[in-house]
Amino acid sequence: MPFVRSERGLRVEPNSSPSTNKQFPPPKYFGDPGSAGRCIQRAMHLMANSTPRRRNTVRVLFYGQSITEQNWWHQVAHDLRRRYPHANLIIENRAIGGHSSQLLVRTAEADLYPFYPDLLIFHVYGSHVDYENIIRRVRERTTADILLQTDHVTRDEQLDEETDPVRLYPDGRIWDAFMNYRFLPEIARKYGCELALVRDLWKRYLREYGLNASQLLSDAVHLNDWGCYVMAQFVNAHLRYHPRVPRAEWGDRVKNFVVGRDVRWRSGKLALEFEGNRVDAICREGSAPAAPVYIDGRHPSQHPALYAVTRTTAYPGTNWPCVLRVGREKPCIVEEWTLRLAEVSSDGAVCRFSLSGSVTGADGEGISTQRFVSRTGRVVIEPEDWNIAYACRVFGLRVQPGFEIRWRVVPLFVDEFVTPGERDRSVETTVTLAQGLEGRRHLLEIRGDSRVPITALRVYCPPLLGKVV
């Protein structure tokens, strides 16, 4: 969902469209076209090989902070739709302005991993430790291709900054250079990510046209329309298809098992042993009684890891979640939670509250300065996950007693396969049977017979699932 900055923070802008960029001079150099995009070829293969009769679904997520919220992402999305008109592109932007990696490492639990993108386009400032934690978890929990961006230039003196990685350390003295010329290249290599060298290309663009860094900015860091145009151009240059890249470089992450060839109905079961954390059923036309689903002998609902928590209610006038992350000590159930503030200090640092679930009922009271564990153990909130004081300080707005913070626990599974029917013959209709499984071998069983309209089972195995890095 796109957001733009307003006087009171961030507001929803549902009908945003790319601005015309004819007045801006185009970049003359985009880097090596032979290598740009090589590390995101699963997503690009799906886009490029879509046809009117077979429109591959590709989920694209933009994530980061205020730079990622800016209009350039609309331009990138527009360009993808123009170049790959037959792909069924599902594109979202869940970036949160003002939230560095230290904060996004928490919000990602609701925003990023449950979305399970095919392509993640990511940029953030902040701690390099938490930056790596986010990327590592993407590799542990999803099969996404990852496109990382180095930072754009914000000051003229950066044109001549140190770029030799041997001389760069995370000591804070030349932090920007360390992040862009040592840390990010190392992370990209370590986790097999695409790296858009925005910073180098930005410097070249400024020099080619004799520009000051400020001419592409609206303030000390944010992009103006010209800067958004340039950013979109440099990111788009990596979103390209290389048909000669061996499938072996990306093909093992997601595999299809065709019913009747790779798996068969036997004795009233369709069974598949697999290693992965997600399995989908690909549907065909037809109908049959509901078919019970089992993972390792239990219904998916009996696996605690298969529940996700949504983003919490936003601070008034913004898209900043009031609570960054909601945890748990005991298994969840599908329900909606309401946290009602009883008292709020003037700076938002101290909040007294009561908690209730739509199914659980009243589940305890607490204070934001202490670790809260609900009576049932279904909700845990750490003191550092409260975001109200930060939002109050930035936006100057207070929340009043009686304000309610809501979130939902949603299922990433079905206990019974019930065919949804083919909604569009050109787009696969799929049902996620289970997502978020532990990193080990699993046994899927669907009880029924060959009348159950499933043509194949699709297994997703993240590169670092169950591995230690």
**Structural domain boundaries of the chain?**
3-248, 252-303+413-460, 306-411
Own/partner pairs, 423-431, CB within 8 angstroms, 24+ separation: 424/55, 425/53, 426/52, 426/53, 426/54, 426/55, 427/55, 427/57, 427/88, 428/56, 428/57, 428/282, 428/283, 429/282, 429/283, 430/57, 430/280, 430/281, 430/282, 430/283, 430/458, 431/280, 431/281, 431/283
Q: Which pairing describes strands 291-295 and 416-417: parallel, antiparallel, or unpaired?
A: antiparallel
Q: Where are the beta strands (DSSP E) in 384-429?
A: 404-411, 416-417
Structure tokens given for 81 = 């739709």
Structure tokens given for 268 = 């009233």
Do the domains 3-248 and 252-303+413-460 sit in the same CATH topology, yes or no?
A: no
pLDDT, position 22: 67
Name every residue whose Cβ is closer than 8 Å to that of residue 244 and which is 6 or more positions away in sequence. Answer: none
Bin 348: left if φ > 0, else alpha if -120 < ψ < 50, else beta: left
H/E stretch holding 205 reads: helix 198-208
Q: From 361, 322, 317, select the one nearest 341 (Cα to Cα).
A: 322
Rounded distance between C-alpha atoms, residue 282 and residue 271, angstroms: 15
Rounded distance between C-alpha atoms, residue 170 and residue 151, angstroms: 16
Rounded distance between C-alpha atoms, residue 253 and residue 459, angstroms: 8
pLDDT, position 422: 66
CB atoms near residue 15 (< 10 Å): 6
Rounded distance between C-alpha atoms, residue 134 and residue 239, angstroms: 22
Tell me which CATH homologous superfamily contains domain 3-248. SGNH hydrolase (3.40.50.1110)
H/E stretch holding 373 reads: strand 372-373
CB atoms near residue 257 (< 10 Å): 17
pLDDT, position 354: 98
**Number of Cα atoms under 13 Å in the Cβ half of residue 451:** 8
Partners of residue 4 on adjacent β-strands: 11
Topology at the third CATH level for domain 252-303+413-460: Jelly Rolls (2.60.120)
CB atoms near residue 251 (< 10 Å): 12
Digit-by-digit pLDDT tens for the chain (469 residues) are: 233 322 223 323 333 445 556 699 999 999 998 899 999 999 999 999 999 999 999 999 999 999 999 999 999 999 999 999 999 999 999 999 999 999 999 999 999 999 999 999 999 999 999 999 999 999 999 999 999 999 999 999 999 999 999 999 998 889 999 999 999 999 999 999 999 999 999 999 999 999 999 999 999 999 999 999 999 999 999 999 999 999 988 989 999 999 999 999 999 999 999 999 999 999 999 989 999 999 999 999 999 999 999 999 999 999 999 999 999 999 999 999 999 999 999 999 999 999 999 999 999 999 999 999 999 999 999 999 999 999 999 999 899 999 999 999 999 999 999 988 767 889 999 999 999 999 999 999 999 999 999 999 999 999 999 887 7
pTM of the entire predicted model = 0.94
44-101 pLDDT, tens digit per residue, is: 999 999 999 999 999 999 999 999 999 999 999 999 999 999 999 999 999 999 999 9
Tell me which amino acid residue 358 is.
Answer: S
Which residue intervals of 218-343 are DSSP H helices? 225-236
- Do residues 178 and 166 make contact, with C-beta atoms less than 8 angstroms apart? no
111-123 pLDDT, tens digit per residue, is: 999 999 999 999 9
Name every residue whose Cβ is closer than 8 Å to that of residue 261 and which is 6 or more positions away in sequence. Answer: none
Name the percent of the chain lying above pLDDT 70: 95
